Amino acid sequence: MKLIILAGGYGTRLSEETRLKPKPLVKIGDKPIIWHLMKIYSYYGINDFIVCLGYKGNLLRNELNKVKENWNISYVNTGLKTMTGGRIKRVKKFLKNEDNFCLSYGDGLSDVNIKKLINFHIKNNKTVTLTAVKYKNPKGVLKINKGSNVKAIKEKPTEYINGGFFVLSKKVFKYLKNDKSIFEQDCLPKLTKTNQLIAYKHHGFWACMDTLREKKELNKIWKSKVKAWKVWI
């Protein structure tokens, strides 16, 4: 099975780092975050990667070409302004022999069991399986009525969110129209209406890197003895 990595965005919320390089090249320890992601999948036997390039794609290609791993990496220039669904559609020709394939963003890490995720997808026979993770809101949520009275305070609520580790059937391509298609906003809602989207609930480690604070936290974990996403160690 192959993994598509969405690695073409601008990463504007991490502008301290991404003015000079794409976000997947921001380092955790001495390796870019995309390397950590690929090591997770490689641990479960997926060594065939399709990297969707966009913003500063040449830098990403040059850096990954230095990696000494037994990986087969295809680089596809999917455009600077192409949306997530459009990037997936642009790599369709690389998936001709694949009934199912994995998809991930280039800035998220987890200890999710990829093998179990794939088996769950195949067993349930849906168009898309997403990994649902519990995210703790760092701020409290207020419930306010029409009169502006606070009716309830829920401190640091925990809710399921899209964790970004997907398995997709090739049937997904009929939901992706063009470069402006946004996978999360255009495709996934349509799949819910036809009962073709299912969630694999993951209760272990998960983190994304949207901000400098999150980058620092991931580096702190990497230097510690906590295994977290380091499934290959």
Averaged pLDDT in 10-residue chunks for the chain of 233 residues: 95 79 95 98 98 96 96 97 97 96 97 98 97 82 73 76 97 97 96 96 95 95 97 96
Task: Judge whether 201 lies within some domain.
Answer: yes
Range of the domain at 186: 2-132+159-223
CATH of the domain at 48: 3.90.550.10
Q: Kindly report the CA angle at 203 between 13 and 46, in degrees rounded to 5?
A: 75
Task: Judge whether 154 lies within some domain.
Answer: no
d(CA 78, CA 84): 10
Distances (CA, A) of 64 to 2, 69, 203, 216, 228: 17, 10, 31, 22, 23
d(CA 220, CA 223): 5
Give the total number of structural domains in the chain: 1
pLDDT for 151 equals 66
Task: Judge whether 233 lies within some domain.
Answer: no
**CA 115 to centroid of chain Cα atoms:** 16
Task: Judge whether 139 lies within some domain.
Answer: no
Q: How many CB atoms neighbour CB 174 within 10 A?
A: 10
For the residues of 153-213, what is the DSSP string, one character each? EESS-EEEEEEEEEEEEGGGGGG--STT--IIIIIHHHHHHTT-EEEEEE-S-EEE--SHH
Task: Judge whether 77 lies within some domain.
Answer: yes
pLDDT for 148 equals 62
DSSP 224: S
Q: What is the pTM of this model?
A: 0.92
Task: Judge whether 143 lies within some domain.
Answer: no
pLDDT for 10 equals 85
Task: Judge whether 137 lies within some domain.
Answer: no
Task: Judge whether 144 lies within some domain.
Answer: no
